[in-house]
Structure 1
Amino acid sequence: MAQHAPPARGARLGRAAGANGPVTTVSGAVLLLPGASRWSPGPLRPLARALARSGAAHGLVAHPVVHGSAAREEDAEWAADEVVRRYGDVPVCLVGYDAGGRAALRAGGHAAVNSVLALAPCLGGPAPEEPPEPVKQLSGRQVLIVHGTNDARSDPESSFRLATRAKKANRSTCRFEVHSDGHGLREHQREVVALAVDFVLGAVFSGRYSRPVTDALAAPPPLGLRMPLASGFGRSLRG
């Protein structure tokens, strides 16, 4: 695989979480791509802690991608290359919030990536002369998009439109709506984190998901792309 040069802005992998201390055998990796503001990480920090707890027994590590501003596609691709260099041929899940969600989706075609999770992705509305966000790179990947219905920063309908096009290129695409929640997904953070952990562990390791995720992946549009995230989700799921 061709190696990407480190991004000019000095992106690097942050300290790994997981594997109960020093990493010995790594069987899968998560790359956490933040949004435009380091002061507003959304659910990424609690998600990293939850992944460290739930994925340690599987050999999962989670690295934040550290950089000066919002993550770009190039940062995500470089970070995936760095995972391969450090850990070998292990499956990689890209998890992005805000602008990081857009970067994760765009970089989903990287050879090491088997899954993408975009949380409140900032996709914007392209001008008439601009092409829509690409989706063909997501073919063959497990894809989950999560968006709050009251998001005032990133239009939830933009991620629904992208999911609709992505579903045509890749049946393994689903999208959950977090009713009454905003851009930071704070009101239902526990449920969002539980959903994310369920998806990541299933996509990277077992291929099995909770019933709501399984149903969302199997349902035809628009049902599987407007799946409501139930209050209390995750209380009966794996630790």
Structure 2
Amino acid sequence: MPAARLLWPTEVEDPRAVVLVLHGGRSRGRGAVRPWQGAVLRMGPFATAVAEAGRGQIGVAALRYAVRGWNGDEASPLADTRLALEQVAARHPGVPIGLLGHSMGGRVALHLADDPRVNAIAALAPWVERPDRPLSHPGLHLLVMHGSIDRMTSAKASRAMATAIEGLGADVTYERVTGDTHAMLRRARHWHERSAGYLAQHLLGTPESATPSDDRVGQDQHRSR
């Protein structure tokens, strides 16, 4: 049977926070996740960006799920991530945790939004389905980003989920990334820096770096508290 793996791209001896990076996957699939698969490789630059934004204060962990699919009611990657959270919390007790997930990884992160150990989430082009319930807890910060020409996951569904979580009292930012697709390649630098800066800001309480002028977001950015 395939097994999930928790890796540490950036280890910090006494971190002030830890970010767990969650890759995407498929609706169904019981094949083992391999390190060379696109969904896994796509998250490497995000792990690097978080480490850079953390300036030596944020440890970065990356989870490789056991299998590639969500697999209906089994929610396969969710069980893997719950175990990874326990391992991170045991390694660094009491340290705030951030989640950064793309697509299926974004769905996983939103399913863990009620875990009080999770202080901040960056959900990138999250896969949201009708049965998914909004979850939150006091003090949660959530960034949802979605490409304006994403044809793989629904921007409308992710916006509705962001609004519902805001209604539960979370600090929510929804951002439409103009001109980009599900793969996040056309404006990769913006995706990396924006999500990493957001997590560093809310996990460390530091000012968020300015968005580069050539990477400004679309007019329909939504911000609320």
Q: TM-score, normalised by structure 2?
A: 0.79
Which consecutive segments of 4 or more residues in structure 1 shift more than 4 A?
A: none
Q: SS of the counterpart of 1:177?
A: strand
Q: Which amino acid aligns with 1:44?
A: M
Q: SS of the counterpart of 1:40?
A: helix
RMSD of aligned alpha carbons: 2.4
CA offsets, 1:91-140, max 9 Å, x none?
0001111101000010122231111110111113x2xxxx4x22233543
Counterpart contact for 2:115–2:137, Cα < 8 Å: no
Correspondence for 1:62: 60
Shift of 1:166: 1.2
Correspondence for 2:29: none
Correspondence for 1:30: 19
Counterpart contact for 1:42–1:186, Cα < 8 Å: no
Q: In 2 relative to 1, CA 43–175 (structure 1 residues): closer, same or farther, beyond 3 Å?
A: farther
Shift of 1:170: 2.2
Correspondence for 1:11: 4
Identity of aligned residues (%): 23
Q: In 2 relative to 1, CA 121–75 (structure 1 residues): closer, same or farther, beyond 3 Å?
A: same
Correspondence for 1:236: none
- Contiguous gaps of at least 5 residues in structure 1: 1-7, 213-221, 227-239
Q: Which amino acid aligns with 2:94?
A: D
Mapping for residues 1-239 of structure 1, pairs under 5 Å? 10-14=3-7, 16-18=8-10, 23-36=12-25, 38-41=37-40, 43-58=42-57, 60-67=58-65, 68-70=67-69, 72-124=77-129, 126=130, 131=131, 133-206=132-205, 208-210=207-209, 224=222
Q: In 2 relative to 1, CA 165–84 (structure 1 residues): closer, same or farther, beyond 3 Å?
A: same
Q: Which amino acid aligns with 2:175?
A: F
Q: TM-score, normalised by structure 1?
A: 0.75
Counterpart contact for 1:35–1:99, Cα < 8 Å: yes
Shift of 1:64: 0.8
- 2-side partners of 1:223 and 1:57: how far apart? 30
Matched pairs, number: 199
- 1-side partners of 2:137 and 2:110: how far apart? 7
